[in-house]
Amino acid sequence: MDFEVWPEAIELGHLFAERHYELSLVGGPVRDLLLHRPSHDLDFCTSARPEEFEPILRQWGQGFWDMGRKFGTLGAVRRRADGTEVKVEVTTYRSDSYTPDSRKPDVNYGSSLQGDLSRRDFTINAMALRVPELEFVDPFSGAADLAKGVLRTPVNPFQSFDDDPLRMMRAVRFVAQLGFTITPDTAAAITEMTDRIAIVSAERVRDELVKLLLSEHPHEGVEALVDSGIADVVFPEIPALQLEIDEHHRHKDVFEHSLIVLDRAMALETGPDGPVPAPDLTLRLAALVHDIGKPKTRRFESGGKVSFHHHDIVGAKMTRKRLKALRFDHRLTEDVSDLVALHLRFHGYVDEPWTDAAVRRYVKDAGSLYERLNRLTRADATTQNKHKAYVFSHAMDEMEARVDELKKKEDFDAIRPDLDGTQIMEILGIEAGPLVGKAYKHMLEFRLDNGPVEEDEARSELIRWWSEQR
């Protein structure tokens, strides 16, 4: 086997061997070694019990943790000379048992490395490397599956997924991360057992979705999520995009369109110093769900036309509800929902270029999402008509150039009315209350329409508006 093992793993192997304990590198780090992929967190299993190897980790590391002690797991971290850190977790050989209504195992200590490997999710994660002797252990042909690019469980897939249903989502996630395919028998078991996902917490489902979307192949991962039937349980709005195409093909397959938009949005992500560094969860999630309001708003009009009026607003509400159910944090939930609500906003510019006031409003409404919104809008323009594609792209270029010019004259992030609340109360002779807020809102609209003006002009406008209100 052609690979270079981490020196920290070899060192730990010697420390365990000196005390006559077995130690093996297992799971993801071994898989990544064979794939020549970087891995900074090292997982080990050992014949020693936690109380026996705790002193070794405390001696070896500069930091120690034991949150997983009840599962037989202890961890440590060490800083290398170059400033990078290596984290290790060591777990006693285990032989878990599960109850039908929980994916949390009753932990039983095992007696052998092979027994420990048999309880793992997939064969590509059921390989080990004994240290320090560097003996490769592969009882379930994980290396062969790795070479074939397939995902298979080391034991009967029905038993594996019944024990821990989250493994079904992990299979889909590995499709996205590694570009692998799921073997037919494993895929069949997933399809038959999707209802078991119900015992998995929303937070764990969310975490798998995040890893899927931030991977190298999220398109394939989402397809696998839908094809397996898992999406029907965890995110039913996505498979609902597979609308039946009308006989005249007056609208696109919304699911396929959404995956194309996801691919195009990813291509518009920037480097680490750009405005939307890759991978960007907010942009990718918005690209995937931007049209989820279409199934609810589809109408068949006269002449064979199909309409989706207000699918942006409906979709934003659906997005907010689903992301809350999956326990996404408030900021991301609001940002993705706002992008869905705004994703059609620019289309009016293509028909008739906006005034400076309309451009200001677009930027003001987009706020911190401006760069993402423009990328989502560009990604959503999937027409095959070259002329239409050129006109749309040219219009977006023009609008962005106008925004850059306007930003040289004023700070869009700090746009406020030319009169503040205190000045409004003083000029109108009123006390704090709803009327002040109403006046403030009018002066903000005036500011967006006219740009910055002198205080005298702002006072005159406020007095004019006030006289109309009275």
The tens digit of pLDDT for each residue in 35-75 reads: 888 877 899 999 999 999 999 999 999 999 999 998 899 99
The size of the chain, in residues, is: 470
pLDDT at 241: 93
Q: What pLDDT sits at residue 394? A: 92
Burial (Cβ within 10 Å: 0-12, 13-18, ≥19) of residue 70:
exposed
SS (H, E, C) the chain: CCCCCCHHHHHHHHHHHHCCCCEEEECHHHHHHHHCCCCCEEEEEECCCHHHHHHHHHHHCCEEECCCHHHCEEEEEEECCCCCEEEEEEEECECCECCCCCCCCECCECCCHHHHHHCCCCHHHCCEEECCCCEEECCCCHHHHHHHCEECCCCCHHHHHHHCCHHHHHHHHHHHHHCCEECHHHHHHHHHCHHHHHHCCHHHHHHHHHHHHCCCCHHHHHHHHHHCCHHHHHCCCCHHHCCCCCCCCCCCCHHHHHHHHHHHHHHCCECCCCCCECCCHHHHHHHHHCCCCHHHHCEECHHHCEECCCHHHHHHHHHHHHHHHCCCCHHHHHHHHHHHHHCCCCHHHHHCCCCHHHHHHHHHHHHHHHHHHHHHHHHHCCCCCHHHHHHHHHHHHHHHHHHHHHHHHCCHHHCCCCCCHHHHHHHHCCCCCHHHHHHHHHHHHHHHHHCCCCHHHHHHHHHHHHHHHC
CB 290 within 8 A of CB 340: yes
The whole-number pLDDT of residue 248 equals: 42
- The dihedrals phi and psi of 299, each to the nearest 5 degrees, come to -135, 135
Distance between CA 202 and CA 209 in Å, rounded? 10
Sign of the Cα torsion 97, 99, 104, 106 reads: negative
Distance CA 382, CA 192 (A): 35
**pLDDT (0 to 100) of residue 92:** 95
- Identity of residue 41: D
Whether residue 177 contacts residue 184, with contact meaning beta carbons closer than 8 Å, is answered with: no
Residues in CB range of 18: below 8 A, 6 or more apart: none
Q: How many CB atoms lie within 10 A of CB 247?
A: 7
According to the model, what pLDDT value does residue 86 have? 92
Instruction: Name the nearest CA neighbour of 417 among 395, 448, 378, 386.
Output: 448
Ordered domains of the chain (ranges, CATH):
1-148 (3.30.460.10), 239-414 (1.10.3210), 421-469 (no CATH)
Among 23, 2, 42, smallest CA distance to 129 is for 23
The token duo for 161 is 């997924």
Specify the pairing of strand 306-307 against strand 23-26. Answer: unpaired
Tens digit of pLDDT at every position of the chain (470 positions):
556 789 999 999 999 999 999 999 999 999 999 988 887 789 999 999 999 999 999 999 999 999 999 889 999 999 988 888 999 999 999 876 555 565 565 667 888 999 999 989 999 999 999 999 999 999 999 999 999 999 999 999 999 999 899 999 999 999 999 999 999 999 999 999 999 998 999 999 999 999 999 999 999 999 999 999 999 999 999 999 997 554 444 445 899 999 999 999 999 999 999 999 999 999 999 999 999 999 999 888 887 788 888 999 999 999 999 999 999 999 999 999 999 999 999 988 877 888 888 888 898 889 899 999 999 999 999 988 999 999 999 999 999 999 998 888 776 666 778 778 888 888 888 888 888 888 888 788 788 777 777 888 888 888 888 888 86
Degrees, nearest 5: CA angle 327-332-338: 120
Residue among 403, 334, 324 nearest 363 (CA)? 403
- Looking at residue 414, its pLDDT comes to 66
With beta carbons less than 8 A apart as the criterion, state whether 212 and 268 touch: no
Please report, for residues 53, 93, 99, 135, the alpha-carbon distance to residue 117 in angstroms, rounded to integers and kept in the order given: 20, 9, 20, 15
Peptide bond into 279 cis (omega under 30): yes
